[in-house]
């Protein structure tokens, strides 16, 4: 039976060799190998329903098309979006592991690389190895974000007038440049409590703010931006056609989302947005002495976007779905939509307890991606960082492993097959083997020339000194 996932990705993974002489050299070289990790051939993968963070938001692994930018964590701890070098989609019949927790919705093959950061140093091991050692895994969940400071430029607007003789005249309203921190606050108010208004002769936005304390604060913010707010009992109205044109894109409450302008900005501007949003559709509370914030929305996409903003200010966030049928509004019992709750957290690790792993049988396609920084963010409900499909030796230094990753990325770009952590029949080990040449690459950080020369490798060695 043909699987959809295989049909979709078989082109991305096809690595045939038309030159039979080269293929024969590869076969000859591999006869000297006892064990290794090939470029994408090992099943270090997740099931298709596992989610991964991309530039477009959260996606399931089986929905990836190969053009997405994947959220990765570089060796300095910063979030970067990286292109997909390779999508791995393989048939797996055997054991997968899941975790017994309502916010952990993933299933992994036994040999996928999980990261432990309990002692401040990233340690990667196969999941099955962690489970057999019967130790807890403290996976990292935090990162840093640089972003780019960008002010908001509202585009020009052409206003059409008609005089008494019904002759049309046009007046061009020039673009408006608004400070990023001011506009982030207005964006937060609108996304939480706003809607557009379209009267016959006036267009603008309405902000449903009823609390006097918040209303006074928001009126001050709006005036500082250069707009003329019109407060009323139920909220604040701003008649401005440029604002109307910009905010029209966000639709109604269930369809709202955040633009790339705020998601790509610097953490300081992102914090301005989150601070105001929590005052509108959220709350601040104390959790055992630690101040925390909670955000609410009925839009699934907006919930994921808010979570992404929280990640980019150096914190973590979980998403919970609250089922609702009825609710009281102004003394009336009304139908209610499901609510998403986004909880901000400051913990540094996601703790996986050694006794809560569940072993189950699986028969289907498993997926992973190959990206430059070698660390990806998965599991939308409660995100954490894991390794991807280039397996490295956890006992080696970070500099050593990052150089191996860089070398492997170059081979992936050219479509050259390679193997990492090779063990030959004579017991000698190598960092990278390129069997088509054949060539061994050894990355040298603290290793001496004398020690390397004593190794009895079967092929030519290329020394990479860093």
Which range, of 87-91, 136-140, 390-394, averages the lowest pLDDT?
A: 390-394
For the purposes of burial, counting CB atoms within 10 Å of the CB of 383, is it exposed (0-12), middle (13-18) or buried (19 or more)?
A: buried
Give me the mean pLDDT over the 177-204 stretch.
92
Tens-place pLDDT, residues 134-182: 788 889 999 999 999 998 888 766 555 555 555 555 566 788 889 999 9
Predicted local distance difference test score (pLDDT) of residue 124? 78
Cis preceding-peptide flag for 438 (omega within 30 of 0): yes
**pLDDT for 329:** 66
Distances 124 to 160, 347, 391, 396, 397 between C-alpha atoms, Å: 64, 20, 9, 10, 12
| Pair of tokens at residue 50 | 């596992």
The pLDDT of 38-55, averaged and rounded, is: 77
Higher pLDDT, 445 or 155: 445
Output the 3-class SS for 138-186.
EEECCCECCCCCCCEEECCEEEEEECCCCCEEEEEECCEEECHHHHHHH
Ranked by mean pLDDT, the top range of 27-41, 125-139, 271-285, 382-396 is 271-285
DSSP H or E stretch at residue 253: none
The ranges assigned to domains in the chain are 1-39+391-466, 42-141+348-389, 151-343
- Quote the pLDDT of residue 17: 39
**Residue 288 Rama label (left phi>0; alpha psi -120 to 50; beta):** left
- How confident is the model over 60-66, as a mean pLDDT? 91
CA-CA distance, 357 to 365, in Å (whole number)? 21
Side-chain-side CA neighbours of residue 214 (13 Å): 23
CA angle at 372 for the pair 369 and 376, rounded to the nearest 5°: 50
190, 250 Cβ separation under 8 angstroms: yes
Q: Can you give the pLDDT at residue 18?
A: 41
Q: Give domain 151-343's CATH architecture.
A: Roll (3.10)
Specify whether the CB–CB gap between 114 and 124 falls below 8 A: yes
Write down the pLDDT at residue 196.
94
Element containing residue 265 per DSSP (H, E): none
Q: How confident is the model at residue 168, as a pLDDT?
A: 54
Q: Are 37 and 429 in contact (CB under 8 A)?
A: no
CATH architecture of 42-141+348-389: Beta Complex (2.170)
Query: What is the mean predicted confidence (pLDDT) over 424-451?
Result: 83
Are 282 and 295 spatial neighbours (Cβ–Cβ below 8 Å)? yes
Token pair in block for residue 28: 């000859």
pLDDT for the residue numbered 374: 83
pLDDT in tens, 105-126: 899 998 888 888 877 777 878 8
Give the SS3 label for residue 96.
Answer: strand
Rounded alpha-carbon distances, angstroms, from residue 98 to 109, 186, 192, 273, 281: 9, 42, 36, 36, 34
Which pairs count as long-range contacts for 422-429, CB under 8 Å and 24+ apart, including other chains? 422/33, 422/35, 422/36, 423/33, 423/34, 423/35, 423/36, 424/32, 424/33, 424/34, 424/457, 424/458, 425/32, 425/33, 425/34, 426/456, 426/458, 428/455, 428/456, 428/457, 428/458
CA 245, 247, 249, 251 torsion-angle sign: negative
- Position 2 scores a pLDDT of 39
Higher-scoring residue by pLDDT: 289, 209 = 209
Read off the pLDDT of each residue in 233-245 and give the average, rounded to a whole number: 91
Q: What angle do CA 445, 450, 451 make, to 5 degrees?
A: 65
Name residue 159's beta-bridge partners.
171
pLDDT for position 161: 52
Average pLDDT (381-404) is 75
CA angle 91, 405, 70 (to 5 degrees): 65
Least confident of 62-76, 108-122, 394-408: 394-408
Tens of pLDDT, residue by residue over 336-391, are 788 999 999 878 888 898 889 999 999 988 888 888 888 999 999 999 999 876 55
Lowest mean pLDDT among 70-74, 331-335, 389-393, 431-435: 389-393
Arithmetic mean of pLDDT over the chain: 83
Cβ-Cβ contacts under 8 Å for 126 (sequence gap 6 or more): 44, 110, 111, 112, 113, 114
User: Which pLDDT score, from 0 to 100, does residue 220 have?
Assistant: 93
SS3 343: strand
Tokens of 372: 């430059």
3-7, 212-216, 425-429: segment of lowest average pLDDT: 3-7
* pLDDT for 287 beyond 70: yes
pLDDT tens digits, one per residue of 17-31: 344 456 566 667 666
With cut-offs at 50, 70 and 90, classify the pLDDT of residue 269: very high
Residue 454 has what pLDDT? 79
Residue 319 has pLDDT above 80, yes or no: yes
Average pLDDT value for residue range 208-222: 89
Residues belonging to the chain: 466
CA angle 225, 229, 232 (to 5 degrees): 150
pLDDT surpassing 80 at residue 36 = no
Instruction: Return the closest-CA partner of residue 282 out of 244, 260, 310.
Output: 310
Q: What is the pLDDT of residue 160?
A: 54
Residue 93 is predicted with a pLDDT of: 87
Q: What's the pLDDT at 134?
A: 78
Percent of the chain with pLDDT over 70: 83
């Amino acid at each position: 039976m043909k699987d959809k996932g295989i049909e979709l990705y078989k082109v991305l993974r096809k690595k045939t060799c038309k030159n039979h002489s080269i293929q024969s050299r590869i076969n000859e070289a591999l006869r000297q190998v006892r064990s290794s990790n090939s470029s994408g051939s090992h099943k270090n993968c997740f099931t298709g329903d596992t989610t991964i963070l991309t530039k477009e938001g959260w996606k399931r692994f089986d929905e990836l098309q190969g053009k997405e930018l994947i959220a990765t964590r570089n060796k300095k701890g910063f979030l970067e979006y990286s292109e997909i070098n390779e999508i791995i989609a393989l048939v797996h019949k055997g054991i997968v592991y899941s975790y017994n927790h309502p916010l952990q919705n993933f299933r992994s093959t036994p040999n996928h690389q999980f990261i432990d950061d309990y002692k401040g140093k990233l340690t990667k091991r196969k999941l099955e190895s962690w489970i057999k050692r019967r130790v807890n895994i403290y996976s990292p969940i935090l990162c840093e974000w640089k972003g780019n400071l960008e002010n908001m430029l509202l585009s020009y607007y052409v206003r059409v007038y008609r005089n008494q003789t019904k002759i049309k005249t046009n007046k061009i309203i020039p673009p408006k440049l608004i400070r990023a921190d001011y506009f982030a606050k207005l964006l937060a108010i609108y996304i939480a409590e706003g809607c557009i208004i379209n009267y016959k002769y006036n267009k603008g936005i309405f902000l449903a703010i009823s609390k006097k304390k918040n209303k006074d604060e928001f009126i001050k913010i709006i005036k500082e931006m250069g707009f003329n707010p019109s407060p009323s009992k139920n909220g604040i109205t701003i008649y401005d056609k440029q604002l109307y044109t910009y905010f029209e894109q966000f639709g109604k409450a269930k369809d709202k989302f955040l633009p790339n302008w705020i998601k790509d900005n610097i953490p300081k501007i992102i914090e301005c947005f989150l601070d105001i949003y929590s005052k509108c559709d959220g709350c601040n509370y104390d959790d055992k002495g630690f101040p925390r914030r909670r955000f609410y929305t009925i839009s699934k996409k907006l919930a994921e976007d808010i979570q992404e903003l929280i990640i980019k200010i150096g914190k973590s966030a979980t998403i919970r779905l609250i089922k609702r049928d009825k609710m009281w509004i102004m003394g009336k019992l009304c139908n209610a939509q499901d609510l998403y709750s986004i909880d901000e957290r400051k913990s540094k690790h996601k703790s996986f307890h050694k006794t809560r792993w569940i072993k189950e049988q699986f028969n289907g396609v498993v997926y992973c991606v190959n990206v430059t920084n070698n660390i990806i963010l998965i599991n939308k409900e409660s995100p954490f960082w894991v390794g991807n499909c280039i397996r490295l030796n956890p006992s080696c230094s970070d500099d050593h492993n990052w150089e191996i990753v860089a070398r492997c990325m170059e081979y992936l770009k050219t479509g050259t097959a390679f193997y990492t952590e090779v063990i030959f029949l004579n017991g000698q080990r190598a960092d990278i083997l390129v069997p088509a040449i054949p060539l061994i690459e050894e990355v040298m950080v603290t290793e001496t020339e004398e020690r390397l020369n004593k190794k009895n490798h079967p092929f030519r060695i290329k020394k990479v000194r860093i």
